[in-house]
Structure 1
């Protein structure tokens, strides 16, 4: 498969690639078990709903590099720990309710930092230079969608 070839090309044999059934995500990286998961149906549906003019394989290449960006982000574990502390504080009603707005914003900022970092790393790695215009279009749309998704998720805490 194309994704395995990309991992192999960058000597990332330590990253597991597996299909999963969660339709919420096209692809996602789990830092705990070092796994990139993808939903084939959601991936294809997302590809069909975009207007980037890419082939399906080219679209997968760009998305895959973004997930590799997460995998190679050396700050991910620390930021995820910080997010977890903020979420736990809100969920368990620790501290003053006045601080929860600040904590929610910190979570949003931290998640967005992870997304920005992943795209920066992806851009440095991607060998398919001819895809850079589409890469930037997908990146910009993805960052916008990620922020909406994260704000919605955090708003429910």
Structure 2
């Protein structure tokens, strides 16, 4: 997901500090996404303990592995039916999201990361994404079978 200037100009200033997650407009909710792409990686979830979640460097077929952005965000569920459309009520069960994720951080009562696009400038945001994002660090699932994916576990995603 990419947040363009139109969306950013159409949201309340510092809404994330003044609104509960379920009080945000759709545009504000979408603006929370930092565009890292980590949620689009294939992962192995331990239902009993999220700390045993294993991420791979294999990304959803719709993810552009160069930019780290979804190539068809608005219609993604037409092509990937199990793609998650995150809502506030889902967050208690989403603790496998990375520790830098704005949705998770706000749910846990934490601040946005200092490099988030809603706080900092574009250069700072890009530097943050370079540390945590998937752009140029992942490969498409189209190239792998299930057994091969299991061999591609990574350790750079921190939950």
Q: How high is the TM-score relative to the length of structure 1?
A: 0.28
- Greater Rg by CA: 1
Which structure has more relative contact order (CA 8 Å, sep 6+)? It is 2
Q: Which has the higher helix share?
A: 1
Q: How high is the TM-score relative to the length of structure 2?
A: 0.27
